[in-house]
Structure 1
Amino acid sequence: MEAVTESRKNQYIDLIQQLLACPNGQEPEILDAQPDLIDAGFVQTLVQVATMMTHENNPDGAKFLIHVARELAKQLGLYPQTSNDQ
Structure 2
Amino acid sequence: MDEQRQQAYLTLINALLTCPSGEEGQTLQDNAELVDAGLLETMAQVAEVLAERGDENAAQFLIGMANQLGELLGLSASTATPGVQLRFLMQVLQATSDSRGNPQVVYPLLQKNLHLLDDNFARIL
Aligned-residue Cα RMSD (Å) equals 0.6
What does residue 24 of structure 2 align with?
27
Unaligned runs of 5+ residues in structure 2 are 77-125
Runs (4 or more) in structure 1 with deviation over 2 Å come to none
Deviations for 1:1-20, whole angstroms, at most 9, x for unmatched residues?
A: xxx11100000000000001
What does residue 37 of structure 1 align with?
34
In the superposition, the TM-score normalised over structure 2's length comes to 0.60
Deviations for 1:13-69, whole angstroms, at most 9, x for unmatched residues?
A: 000000011000100000001111000000000000000000000000000000110
Alignment of 1:1-86 (within 5 A): 4-79=1-76
In the superposition, the TM-score normalised over structure 1's length comes to 0.87
Identity %: 38
Larger radius of gyration: 2
Partners of 1:34 and 1:26 lie apart in 2 by 13
